[in-house]
A and B are shown apart, each in its own frame.
Chain A
Amino acid sequence: MTHVCHLCHIDLDRISVTRGGQELLHEVSMHIHCGQLTALIGQNGAGKTTLIRSLLGELPYTGKIRHVNENGRDVPHLITGYVPQHLEFDREMPLTVQDLMAAAFSRRPVWTGVGAKTRAAILEALKEVNAQELIDRPLGRCSGGETQRVLLALSMHPAPDLLVLDEPVSGIDSNGQTLFLDLVSRLRKNHHMAILLVSHDLRLVREYADHVVLLDKSVLAQGAPEYVFGTPEFDRVFGSGEVS
């Protein structure tokens, strides 16, 4: 699955979200192509999280989200993988990486233990993100970067059509950031999936994104990073000289 089609994509067609009488998103249209990393940028309150929550089915929206295959046909199901910004949980909780992943991978209740097959599948998933040594570690003892890699492994099974990364590297040291985004780039190539990355770090966006969407309630500009970063809309939102 290493061919690049650029035809298979997730099509967002005039997505609008209104809550409490306030319009949070206005007719956002964009394509998230398979095999590409699409970065969503914008200031706080621009509607990035709202768009992600709509994609995850958590917020009601108007407009259409379609999953279109290489032949231009609609695919009924869209499997979405999701890596949250960070986990807010009780770090003293007795919960290993294996427990977290087994709760998502298997129907067997985790409190009865984890079967050998599930453990093997978890190990396999962790290997893909170079994190197999974390399997028995309590989740609360994992560093920020390690937790994000575990969440990435989790989001990759079942193989998603669309992988949504919500500020996955904020609060991680720069080594961890590079490690994480290199991994994502490799997974994108190997699995040919569509990736939507929300990030405040414009340097990383420039380095890793294939396509950039600048959002402020609606789409202000979209295209290749060099193009979007050179638009007057980008200067207006971020100020000129923001990205070196």
Chain B
Amino acid sequence: MQAIYDFFRTLPVESLNYTFVVRALFAVLLLTPLFGLLGTMAVNHQMAFFSDALGHSALTGIGLGMLLGLSRDLDLVSMLVFGIFWALMIVAIKRTGAASADTVISVFSSTSVAAGLVILSSGGGFSKYSSLLIGDILTVAETDLIWLLLALVLGIAVWALIGNGVLLTGINASLARSRGFRIRLWEGAFVVLVAVAVMLSIRWIGVLLINALLIIPAAAGRNLARSVRQHAVWSVCIALFSGVAGLFLSCSTGLATGPTIVLIAAACYMVSLLVRSVRK
């Protein structure tokens, strides 16, 4: 890793002299493509609210880790386990048709936020956990990068395997089934994949903004694309651009990184809206 830091020092960008900025850059390069890719499906199948609820459930996951006395690295495990459990619960209850999807998701979202806040503030105030809300990508450690690399490789592999099934299921479940796709399995695999991506990144992006990273680049890409492939390419490019530009802008101006990344993505979205209306 030292050789990489040395290489970046030779570049004419002042902020890259700092090893924590280089690590953050790698984190952005690993994290944003996966979010860009998964986001395409989330925006096409009205799952934006669902992924928001998942992000919120990280609070409960960390709270449970604290209750179990887990260390900082291990509370990632409690977040992952709880996030996956919560995602599958939402899907299962949605399937029963007991209430409309947005109602079910809202109930689950609020419950996990409340439970997380109760647990995390029980030891004398929530303030020491407030960094969870906006995250800080500049604190990424080398071991975190390995986790993110694993998530990216695994995420792309799983998405390659289930993408077609999820796409057809979103168009018409019976049609997908008649083509031999096991729709419950695909749906479950997709929400687990989103849960894993969200939980692994929450410490760096924050509970409040994680959903923006998933949704905004994909929403902007959707305005520019005509096909599934174009959508994936635009979404990943916009996510990468927002991530890298946001990181450098925040470093040179002293602004918080996560929100800057999201603001740049939002600007891309506005431009995409403009392009779309001109094309029409």
Contacts and interface: CB of A to CB of B under 8 A. Distances in A.
A94 B178 contact: no
6 contacts: A58-B174, A84-B175, A90-B44, A99-B167, A109-B160, A155-B178
Contacts of A57: 177
Interface in B12-59: 37, 40, 44-46
A101 to B, nearest CB: 10
Contacts of A96: 226-228
A169 to B, nearest CB: 17
A56 B164 contact: no
Nearest to A141: B226
B37 A111 contact: yes
B164 A113 contact: no
A99 B227 contact: yes
B178 A110 contact: no
A138 interface: yes
Given A56-B177, A112-B229, A93 B164 contact: no
A35 to B, nearest CB: 21
A109 B163 contact: yes
Interface string B212-252: 00000000011001111111100000000000000000000
Contacts of B226: 94, 96, 138
A121 to B, nearest CB: 14
A102 B167 CA distance: 11
B37 A56 contact: no
A89 B169 CA distance: 10
A51 to B, nearest CB: 13
**Chain A interface residue count: which class?**
35 or more
A188 to B, nearest CB: 18
A111 B40 contact: yes
A9 B228 CA distance: 39
Interface residues of B, number: 31
A103 interface: yes
B172 interface: yes
A116 B245 CA distance: 37
A94 B175 contact: no
Interface in B127-180: 159-161, 163-165, 167-168, 170-172, 174-175, 177-179
Nearest to A151: B175
Interface string A85-120: 001111011111011101110110111111000000
Given A58-B174, A58-B177, A89-B172, A94 B160 contact: no
Nearest to A103: B164
B33 to A, nearest CB: 12
Nearest to A49: B174
Contact of B167 (A84, A103, A151): A103
Given A56-B178, A90-B46, A103 B168 contact: yes
B229 A82 contact: no
B177 A94 contact: no
Contact of A93 (B160, B161, B222, B232): B222
Contact of B159 (A82, A109, A151): A109
Contacts of A88: 172
Given A94-B226, A94-B230, A109-B159, A84 B44 contact: no
B178 A82 contact: yes
A13 B207 CA distance: 56
Contact of A100 (B159, B160, B171, B225): B171
A81 interface: yes
A53 interface: yes
Contacts of B165: 103
Nearest to A154: B175
Interface in A131-173: 138, 151, 154-155, 164
A65 to B, nearest CB: 14
A218 interface: no
A80 interface: yes
Given A82-B178, A103-B167, A93 B44 contact: yes
Given A104-B179, A111-B163, A111-B232, A94 B225 contact: yes
A116 to B, nearest CB: 14
B175 A111 contact: no
Contacts of A99: 167, 227-229
A113 B278 CA distance: 27
A149 to B, nearest CB: 15
A94 B163 CA distance: 15
Contacts of A102: 164
Contact of B171 (A80, A82, A87, A106): A87
Nearest to A53: B174
A56 B183 CA distance: 13
A95 B228 contact: yes
